[in-house]
Amino acid sequence: MFIKPYGDTSNDGAVQLSFTLPVKNCGRAKEAARLYVQKLGFQKVDVVHAAALSEDFTFFVAYGKTDVSLDYDKVEYAEAVDKYMSMDEVNEFIKTHFKRKLVIVGACTGTDAHTVGIDAIMNMKGYNHHFGLERYPMIEALNMGSQVPNEKILAKAKELKADAVLVSQIVTQKDVHIKNLTELIELAEAEKMRGKTLLVMGGPRVNNKLAKELGYDAGFGAGTYAEHVATFVVKKLYERMTTRK
Amino acid sequence: MTPLKSKLGLSKPKIDRARELAAEITAPVQEFIDTHTTVTIERATLRLLGADGANDDGVPVPNLIAAQCGAKLSGGAAAFYLNALLKLDKKPAELNKEIEKGLNICEIPLTDAKRIQKKAEEIIKGLDARIAGNVTHRNAQLKLSKDKIKSPMIYVIVATGNIYEDVKQAQAAAHQGADIIAVIRTTGQSLLDYVPYGATTEGFGGTYATQENFRIMRKALDETGEKEGRYVRLVNYCSGLCMPEIAAMGALERLDMMLNDSMYGILFRDINMYRTLTDQFFSRMINTAADIIINTGEDNYLTTSDAVEKAHTVLASQFLNERFAAGAGMPARLMGLGHAFEINPELKNGFLYEYAQALMAREIFPEHPLKYMPPTKFMTGDVFKGLAMNTLFNFVSKATGQGIHLLGMLTEAIHTPYLQDRHLAIDNALYVHNTMADFMDEIEFKKDGVMARRARQVLDETVEMLEEVKRHGLFTAIETGMFAEIKRPRDGGKGFDGVYEKAAGYYNPVEAYLKKKLKVGK
């Protein structure tokens, strides 16, 4: 199935854009914006708004139509989990299949000081009425907080014999998160933890595809709740346990 | 700030009780502060006496001196620096060069204490003149631009990592109407136990706070301010392990505001509590002397805790920050107490609670330029919803007469702001400010309506919480997670080894000068 953006008619290819150009706001600037959007491959370009940000910069809102379409059947993306369980189902699953509590250690590592993501997944209260892992009776959850060195979280995971490690990365400027996430994988490799302890990453600018590329077991982006991560962890651990037997 | 009669029917005896409790809670902490110094207080003192520069490895001169002093820091570092100036007959800039090259000033035998004190007086006279000059200049500029500065003042952040890029963005934002520009710091700077030296162009999620970067941005904003006929205030972060040093640099380079909280570093950066509490006192004296408005960080509580359930922790912390600041000689007009618009947008009547809590803060702290922070926790990447939430935030801020209004960005949770994001945010705020200019005076509230009841409940819970903090003492309260649900052990955290009990005969002429000027202590 080939798809194109939908504005007000099937396959009209309508796209909304907004951007800034480093020129003074004037008629010529507006024409430049129109030509620029045309160069991007859009047709029937309409620059509907132009505003001066300073003497040297102008902000534009533009609409255009595109001919480009995409074969949706050929798009490959594996979700970390097909079907999520609720908190109660996760606990039952652990009781039935593991007969012990699972240990999960999490932190916002590297120089990143933003705990909002790891807190949403781990803290008792959770986020948006979805309880965090600390609330799960069958999970021992330890949230180590922010700016935790990669060495330290792995050492803690070893000490507690953690079943899974959760790494949160919020700051992504200049790809600082990629460097840090890669460092953690290398350390885990050196410590022979890969393939044993589940390594899971999360953050607004990461997803499952990036996680796989970097060598993590899974990655979760914006809109993730604790039960999503928990479902992945218990199912993956169960899969490993049963295939090893 | 127009004085208000309480529209929420808040109980004055309850508010008085909360202030009384805050005084009782902070008194034993102040006793600790008065008998201790820290490595960064000593370095700040050295900076104010003229120590500056860094060696080839990037170690700043104040750090080199502190390392030379070692355990002698408990007696104060100032005497060694003053002594070296006298004995070597050098100006600070010349002495700094020698120290960069390896001169150990702690090995020079100390001259007569009277001569050292005389030298201190001479330098402090110059320091006092420089700071007073900054204050006079700022006040004159503010007077000229009085009608052009908005109420609440519009505050935006730049955070490129490169001070020269920051300048472009800051000037554009000021041109668009921003009254206040904050240069956010690079992630991780709060945990450095030194202040980097010189202009910097590399940073993550922000730009290093250095004295040279302060100077570059100050000059740029002064230029734009002149063009626009409106003084533009500059903000940085007086927090982390170098809190007093940043205050010193800000006082010297005419910053106008500083993020500065008595407990933020303990809770959110895992800095040792004795260290932070001692540092906040010294840094607040410097900020007060330089007439710098502080912004406290209560908004952060609501990023880790629920904004409805834990609203009282914000108010409790505001009372404590107020009391600590007053203890450092700070008048209310410099206390930008923090709070935030962070209630889950899906909660029914959430807007009424936000409105009630913001108005409550305004009524309880009538002279304070309250710092109101935008939604962040429930910003999702849906920029259109984000813009709508920011509009409601702008509404509450204007409707309750907030002082310092940090603009929400529609791209919060996505990336550091683009040039256009700030433009859209400022445009939104200006629209709201204008269209409801006199709204605040027009409106009153039902005596026992949702909002009045909400404000009363938060105040009641605050007094209960402060009673409990008082029973345990502040140190234990922090240890047991009473603030932000974060537990910090009293001997844990970073920077504890940099706390020293003051030795008998502790000498710090800058501290003495500040205390005298601000009438602090006995």
Which tens digit of pLDDT belongs to each residue from A183-228? 999 999 999 998 899 999 999 888 999 999 999 999 999 889 999 9
Contact A54 B171 (CB under 8 A): yes
The confidence score (pLDDT) of residue B2 equals: 45
Using an 8 Å Cβ cutoff, are A121 and A225 in contact? yes
The 3-state DSSP class for residue A184 equals helix
Say if the Cβ atoms of A53 and B176 lie within 8 Å.
yes
According to the model, what pLDDT value does residue A245 have? 57
Q: Which amino acid is at B199?
A: A
Q: H or E segment at B336?
A: strand B335-336
Strand partners, A27: none
Lowest mean pLDDT among A18-22, A127-131, B169-173: A127-131
What is the spatial distance between Cα B186 and Cα B161, in angstroms, rounded to a whole number?
7
* pLDDT given for residue B426 in this prediction: 96
Distances (CA, A) of A20 to A36, A60, B86, B90, B173: 11, 6, 57, 53, 14
Write out the H or E segment, with its range, that includes residue A14: strand A14-21
Answer whether A223 sits within 8 Å of B380, measured CB to CB: yes
Chain A residues whose CB is inside 8 A of the B269 CB are: 113, 146-147
Distance (Å, whole) CA B310 – CA B321: 17
- pLDDT at position B1 is 44
- The closest CB to that of A125, out of B306, B346, B423, belongs to B306
Predicted complex: ipTM over 0.90? no
Chain B within 8 Å of A51 (Cβ-Cβ)?
A: yes
Catalytic residue among A24, A44, A95, A125: A125
Mean pLDDT, all residues of chain A: 92
Strands A164-168 vs A198-202: parallel, antiparallel or unpaired: parallel
Tell me the shortest Cα–Cα distance from A172 to chain B, in angstroms.
Answer: 8
* Cross-chain residue pair A54–B485, CB shorter than 8 Å: no
Task: Quote the longest CA-to-CA distance of chain A.
Answer: 72
Query: What residues in B contact A18, CB-CB < 8 Å?
Result: 420
Which 8-state DSSP code applies to residue B169? H
Q: What is the pLDDT of residues A101-126, one digit of tens each?
A: 999 999 998 877 788 889 889 988 78
Q: Are B183 and B211 in contact (CB under 8 A)?
A: no
Best of B185, B190, B304 to disrupt the A interface (most A CBs within 10 Å) is B304
Distance separating alpha carbons of residues A133 and A225, to the nearest angstrom = 10
Q: How many CB atoms lie within 10 A of CB B112?
A: 10
Whether A222 sits inside 8 A of B413 (CB atoms) is yes
Task: Quote the strand ranges of A22-144, DSSP E.
Answer: 43-52, 58-65, 70-71, 102-108, 139-143
Quote the pLDDT of residue B4. Answer: 54
What pLDDT sits at residue A222? Answer: 85
Q: Can you tell me the distance from the alpha carbon of B278 to that of A84, in angstroms, rounded to the nearest whole number?
A: 49
Chain center to CA of A131: 19
Q: With beta carbons under 8 A apart, name residues in chain A contacting B346.
A: 128
Which amino acid, B49? L
Question: Hey, are the CB atoms on B380 and A222 less than 8 Å from each other?
Answer: yes
Question: Which residues of chain A does B172 touch, with a Cβ-Cβ cutoff of 8 Å?
Answer: 53-54, 56-57
For B100-206, strand residue ranges (E) read 153-158, 180-183
A59, B176: Cβ pair inside 8 Å?
Answer: no
If contacts are CB pairs under 8 Å, which of residues 265-304 in chain B contact chain A?
Answer: 268-270, 303-304
Q: What pLDDT does B3 receive?
A: 46
Contact B304 A119 (CB under 8 A): yes
| pLDDT the model gives residue B6 | 87
The answer on pLDDT for A244 being more than 80 is no
The confidence score (pLDDT) of residue A223 equals 85
Task: Using the Cα atoms of residue B488, residue B489, residue B492 and residue B497 in order, give the sign of their dihedral.
Answer: positive
- Please name the residues in contact with B171: beta carbons below 8 A apart, sequence gap of 6 or more: A54, B220, B221, B223, B224
Q: Nearest chain B Cα to A206, which residue?
A: B414
DSSP state of B333: G
Query: A36: burial class by Cβ within 10 Å (0-12, 13-18, 19+)?
Result: middle
Whether the CB of B485 is below 8 Å from some CB of chain A: the reply is yes
Distance, in angstroms, between B420 CA and closest chain A CA?
6
Tokens of residue A37, six digits: 């959007």
HEC profile for B454-490? HHHHHHHHHHHHHHHHHHHCHHHHHHCCCCCCCCCCC
> Which residues in B lie closer than 8 A to residue A205 (C-beta atoms)?
414
**Contact by Cβ (8 Å): B262, B321:** yes
Catalytic residue IDs of B: 264, 299, 371
pTM recorded for the entire structure: 0.88
Q: Which residue from B187, B380, B420 is facing A59, i.e. has the nearest CB?
A: B420
Please tell me the total number of residues recorded for chain A in this structure: 245
Neighbours of A77 (CB within 10 A): 7
Chain A contact present for B223, CB below 8 A: no
Contacts of B118 (CB under 8 A, 6+ apart): none
In this prediction, the residues of chain B whose per-residue pLDDT falls under 50 are 1-3
What digits encode the pLDDT tens for the residues A26-81? 999 999 999 999 999 999 999 999 999 888 899 999 999 999 999 999 998 877 77
Radius of gyration of chain B (CA): 23
pLDDT at A180: 92
Cis preceding-peptide flag for B152 (omega within 30 of 0): yes
pLDDT, one tens digit per residue, over A138-154 is: 999 999 988 889 999 99
Residues of A with Cβ-Cβ distance to B237 under 8 angstroms: none
Q: Considering only CB atoms, which chain B residues are within 8 Å of A19?
A: 420
Residue B429, φ and ψ in degrees, nearest 5? -65, -40
